[in-house]
Each structure stands twice: as C-alpha cells, then as structure tokens.
Structure 1
C-alpha cells in the first residue's frame, strides 16, 4: 500500500511507520520536523497541518491508499487535513484515545458507550481538553468521503514511549535500593504495546476495514506487582519494592497516575481504568504480546537512547515522583511501620 502518516516520528506514530516499512509499504510522512529526525526509507514532506498552503503542497500530484493521522488534537485542525485529503486517499485512520469517552476512567468502556459532547468546530477552551478528541473523531466521520477507521488506544507502553510512565519505573528501579510501590501488587492493569496497535491498524487498512475499535490489552494482562517485577528482571536491579498503603500515599500528597505512574487508586473516579473491553479488536485479529517482552524491549531502547530523555510530561504535568519527595515519603512510611510495631508490643 501507499500510506501517508501525519506525524510519524514519535512513539505510536513511529511504531506505525516502522511496521509499515517492515511490511514493504510505500510511506510518506508529513510533519514539522520538530519531534524527531527524518526517517530512512520514507518520503518526508515538511509542513504544518494548520497551514492550508502546506497541505496543498502535500497533496499536489499525490494520492494514497490510506492516511494515518497520529497527531490530531483539535477539531478545526483535523478538519483542514480531512478537507485536503478528501479524494486523495482511500481511507482515513484516526488515532484517538479512551479520553474521547465521557465515562472513562470512572467506568470501563466499549465502542457503544457515549463520547464527550464536542462540536466539530470546537476550539481549546470551549470544552474540556479530553472532549476535543471526540470532536476530532466527528470531524473525520462527517467530513471524509472514503472509509473511516478510528482506533481508541488505552494506556500505551513500549519502546519509544514519550510520556514516560514505564520508562520512569524502569529508570527508578534500575538505580536500585528501596522503591515505593503503590497499593497492592495484585492490582490488575490493562496495558498495550504500541507495536501491537500499529500492526492491528495496518491489518485493518490492508483489509479495507472501517469502523471503530478500542485498542487496548486484554483485561488483567498484568498486575502492578508483575509489571514492577518485570522491571527488576529487565534491569538486573537489586531494587526492593516497598508496597505502601494507597491512603497513606495520598495523605502524603503523592499524586496518583502522574507521580507514581500507572497508579489508579481504588476510588470511584478511577474504577474503570483497567476494565475497558478490547473484545471487538481482539475478535478482528488484534494480537497482544506479553507485557514482560514489552518491558524488556523498552529497557533496551532506553539503554540505546531510543526513548526521550527525562523529564517526562503528561501534557504540562511532570511524570514521576521527585527523588527527594520519594525518599521523604518512604521515610514516613518506615516511621509509620515502626510506630505500629511499638503499639503492638504495648
């Protein structure tokens, strides 16, 4: 196939390009050149998708079997690429997010559940940030005359992760010593490797598939304990995991999800974080590799310089617990344990 990737240099976008090249597809990437270097084996067209002139230059004399939009965040911006590519591509695959669903993460979601209300002409500030993805989806669904494929990834991990959730754990554990771990090691997670999403998306394009798919891992495909143990194994570290009570961590001002990545406390607001249904994608052929393989490959990529350097960010929020704060909280947890021991002895 001839494939256009909007973006294509960072994490999932890069995984899609790499997989497309591995399969022998002809790939064009369109981006500003700010997030990564030009890629070998692809046609690179530089430009800003908000610039009508750049989009006109992109499509002049070109057409594709499919376009993969990996970096659409605002409806009005996505609308520009949809208009420019109408009639130039057989299908438009838009990479969205679980965040498009109004009930997540409080509830587990599937493809039938309601999305956020967001008009196709909404701008940042008109609606909550998460709702913008839903607006982008509607732009593609309403405005592209060919086939439309929408994938809604869950929590993505793997080599090249730029948010830094798994890389932060790997780097922290690699340093060794005692490492705070949140809550119970038996808490189920539901993670997916970017490379598995890339393979599934390209399979669907090759098959002419359209529609909507939640692309996440199998429910309970790992636990927090198994994930962190895999980090210990991959790094060869002597780290000791110290499992601290969730309420204690919150009382100490530790922020769930960001300061201790992937920690979704056992509270109503996070109840559906790890219970989304991937049944439709799995039935359509999505395959998910073992999480231990993902962890090992991510560590290897980090050692080879294949992941962005810290500090990691989720939006504008730093990802990962500051070492000084980590050590302060760990000391407080130890003191709590000593106090309980003294109380028990009377």
Structure 2
C-alpha cells in the first residue's frame, strides 16, 4: 500500500506516518517543512493555505494511467479551513484510492447527549467552501463534506474525541505530567472515579490504516469506550511515571467552579458532570470497536508520553493556533489552602 499523508510530522499525522512505516508501507508526506518527519519517507513541501500551495503535490500526483492510482490512501488531519480539504481532495480525485479524514466528534450538534451514535444530528452552517474563520465544529464538518463531495463512499471519516499520547502538541497530558513531576500537593479535580473517554494517537493511527485496508467508509466515532480509564487512574499513572511522589488532593467540582477555574482549559481533560461531560466522555463508540478499534491501557499512554517529554528536555511542543492550557500555580495554591 502506498500512502500519502497530508501533514505527517506532528501528533496524529506523525503517529499515522510511524504506524505506516512500521507496516512496511511506502509513505509520502506533504507538509510545510516546519518539523522533520520520521526517516524513510518521501517529502513534498507546500502550504495548503497559499495560492500555489499544492504545486508540488500536483506534480508528484501526475496523471493516472490505466486506472492506476498514484497512492492507495491519503490521510488528512487538517483542522483549519474546509476549503483546504476541498482543494486537496479535488486535486487527488482519480489519483488516490481512498481518502481518510481525521475529523472530530465536535461535528455533532451541541450538546450531544450521552450515547450519541454516528447518525446523530450535526452542526448547522458547515460548508466545504468555508475559509479560516469557520468555527472548529463547522470547520471539521466542512472538511467531512469536502471529502465526501469528491470521494463519496471512498471517504472514511474518523471522528476522534480527546486525543492523547506522545507528540501531543495541545498540552493536555503534558501539562499534567509536568505539574505532577514538580511534586508536592497537586489539585486533583472532582471525583477520582470519574470515567474518561479518549484515544491514544497511535491507536487512532492503527485503526485508520486497518479500516482503510478493509475498505471501510463513512463516519466512525474513534475513541475508547466510556470508562476506559478514570481521572484517578490517569493521574495515579502520572505519579508513577514521573516518580515524583506528588500528593493528589481531590477537590470537589463545586469548590473548583466557585473559584472561577475553567474545566478543560485550566484543568485539562477534566469536565464536571453535565452536558459538556456527556458530550466528551459518554459517546457511543460501538461501531468503531466492532470494526477492530483497540485501545491500549492508560498506563502505557502516560508512560510513553512522559518518556517522550523527557527526551525533549521536558518542554512540550505547542500548536500556535491553540492557547496554552493549565492552572497557574497561584490559583492552585489558594485552592489547596482554602
């Protein structure tokens, strides 16, 4: 199988690249050149947001002859303007066998009730022609529409939820690991038995490749089953991985919210009970699991992420289009001593 990965150097894209290489696949990555891809790939350079950003991709794609495809599969992790997905899909029409788009469960109309499957209501106002000003849910749904418009039943839509693991460039699990590594009392939010639902980027990558090889298409909620782990198990794994001896101080959600602390952004991953929690951590994932999704233990995700961070000297990469996450030490100290 010959793969084209649009991106392929960061987080999910890199996980797909590494998984494909491990399977002995021929991999081409198309990226802006800001980060080095894994060794063993063919590189194409271009900026999808530029007027001539797809020139190198068009030259490499060439013209299909005798029905042969230049690549068997393209994996697209784009989360910006849907028009960029549209332009890439149109360019690759007839030159790629299947188009896998890494989407998001944010495409469902908010709030998404607990147990919502793939045929649930979707956000309004999405368009494959939208630009960079499209809100994230509409941008991801617009990307889906762009892939479907061109590839139809050869389009695979992986609606991921919370994504964790090595190469994370959003900062959620890295923040917890870095905070716990400092040791001392640590503000632990809510109840330790709160179930979580997430996906390790490497498990997402492996499922994508398996699904494509089996010719799957359409939307799949690609995330662990609800309760694959808990907030307590996650943070305990962080304590063990860092070896810091940090003391987790479990604090009631009501106290945290009364102090004006923002769940998800200031205390990453965690959400108090309610609509947002049901949307993020209670989705129906039976379809993806029936199609072979396997999720590794949280201990492995946490340990491997910590090992990766230490290899970087402790400084995690940060996407420039996402705000930094985490609770400032002063606010944490006030809550711990209140």
- TM-score, scaled to structure 1: 0.89
Q: What is the CA distance between 1:74 and its match in structure 2?
A: 1.7
Aligned to 1:276: 283
Q: 1:195 aligns with which of 197, 202, 215?
A: 202
Q: 2:329 aligns with which of 299, 323, 329?
A: 323
Aligned to 2:292: 285
Aligned to 1:28: 28
Q: In structure 2, how many angstroms separate the alpha carbons of the residues matched to 1:56 and 1:272?
A: 39
Q: What do you get for the CA RMSD once the two structures are aligned?
A: 2.0
Q: In structure 2, how many angstroms separate the alpha carbons of the residues matched to 1:232 and 1:21?
A: 33
- TM-score, scaled to structure 2: 0.92
Q: 1:60 aligns with which of 59, 62, 67?
A: 62
Q: What is the CA distance between 1:120 and its match in structure 2?
A: 2.2
Q: In structure 2, how many angstroms separate the alpha carbons of the residues matched to 1:57 and 1:2?
A: 17
Q: Secondary structure at the match of 2:249?
A: strand
Aligned to 1:220: 227
Q: What is the CA distance between 1:247 and its match in structure 2?
A: 1.6
Aligned to 2:16: 16
Q: 2:128 aligns with which of 115, 120, 145?
A: 120
Whether 1:249 aligns to 2:256 is yes
Q: What is the CA distance between 1:273 and its match in structure 2?
A: 2.0
Q: For this pair of structures, how many residues does the alignment match?
A: 329
Q: What is the CA distance between 1:182 and its match in structure 2?
A: 0.6
Q: Secondary structure at the match of 1:96?
A: strand
Q: Secondary structure at the match of 2:203?
A: helix
Aligned to 1:265: 272
Maintained 8 Å contact 1:104/1:273: no
Structure 2 vs 1, CA of residues 52 and 9 (structure 1 numbering), >3 Å: closer, same or farther?
closer
Maintained 8 Å contact 1:151/1:213: yes
Maintained 8 Å contact 2:203/2:295: yes
Alignment of 1:1-346 (within 5 A): 1-34=1-34, 36-50=35-49, 51-60=53-62, 63-104=70-111, 107-117=114-124, 118-125=126-133, 127-144=134-151, 147-305=154-312, 309=316, 312=318, 315-332=321-338
Q: What is the CA distance between 1:314 and its match in structure 2?
A: 8.8
Q: Secondary structure at the match of 2:136?
A: coil
Maintained 8 Å contact 1:158/1:297: yes
Structure 2 vs 1, CA of residues 214 and 130 (structure 1 numbering), >3 Å: closer, same or farther?
same
Q: Secondary structure at the match of 1:242?
A: strand
Q: What is the CA distance between 1:129 and its match in structure 2?
A: 2.8
Structure 2 vs 1, CA of residues 63 and 211 (structure 1 numbering), >3 Å: closer, same or farther?
same
Larger Rg: 1
Q: In structure 1, how many angstroms separate the alpha carbons of the residues matched to 2:9 and 2:112?
A: 28
Q: In structure 2, how many angstroms separate the alpha carbons of the residues matched to 1:48 and 1:198?
A: 23
Gaps of 5+ in 1: 333-346
Maintained 8 Å contact 1:141/1:148: yes
Gaps of 5+ in 2: 64-68
Maintained 8 Å contact 1:161/1:307: no
Q: In structure 2, how many angstroms separate the alpha carbons of the residues matched to 1:115 and 1:308?
A: 37
Q: In structure 2, how many angstroms separate the alpha carbons of the residues matched to 1:270 and 1:41?
A: 41
Structure 2 vs 1, CA of residues 106 and 211 (structure 1 numbering), >3 Å: closer, same or farther?
closer
Q: What is the CA distance between 1:186 and its match in structure 2?
A: 1.1
